[in-house]
Amino acid sequence: MRDNIRHEVFLPAALSQRIVAMAKAQKRAKSNLLAEIIDVHMNRRWAAQPDERMFAKMDRILRLTTKTNNETIMISYCLSRFIRHQLIYAAALPPPGADAIAIGEKRYQQFLDTIAKLVARDTSKLDPVPPAQTEETS
């Protein structure tokens, strides 16, 4: 019983001439040459593509992670500078009165509510940043 199965393939004339020339140069049968070409192509294409896709995906993840890390470092630096500024500025001010403390507590609660919404990822409920206004009018 034969191990090989016959397939009929129609090729363009130029490709057929290249195969004939390769077979003659290598002193091989065309069918053996074609079998090797097909085998190499299928092994390379099917085996390598998942790796290439995986590496491309890993590259995207690495770029995103690097960007996120850089943004986190920048936010951390800005927050540190802001806190330092506020502590220095507050040290020169007299202690706040009851009205100022009440306004500050209200603003702080609004800030916490906004952060809670962000953490919940419900950006549709986020209030737009209001224009500067005094708390005494609200």
Q: Give the Cα separation of 138 and 136 in Å (integer).
A: 6
Expressed in percent and rounded to 5, the helix, strand and coil fractions of the chain are 75, 0, 25
User: What is the model's pTM?
Assistant: 0.40
Whole-number CA gyration radius for the chain: 35
* Cβ atoms of 19 and 30 closer than 8 Å: yes
Q: Domain spans of the chain?
A: 96-126
pLDDT per residue as tens, the chain (138 positions)? 468 888 888 999 999 999 999 999 999 999 989 988 888 877 776 555 666 777 788 888 999 999 999 999 999 999 999 999 998 888 888 988 999 999 999 999 999 898 888 888 755 555 555 555 544 444
> How far is CA 68 from each of CA 3, 65, 76, rounded to the nearest angstrom?
57, 5, 12
CB 88 within 8 A of CB 96: no
Please report, in angstroms and rounded to a whole number, the separation of the first and last CA atoms in the chain: 94
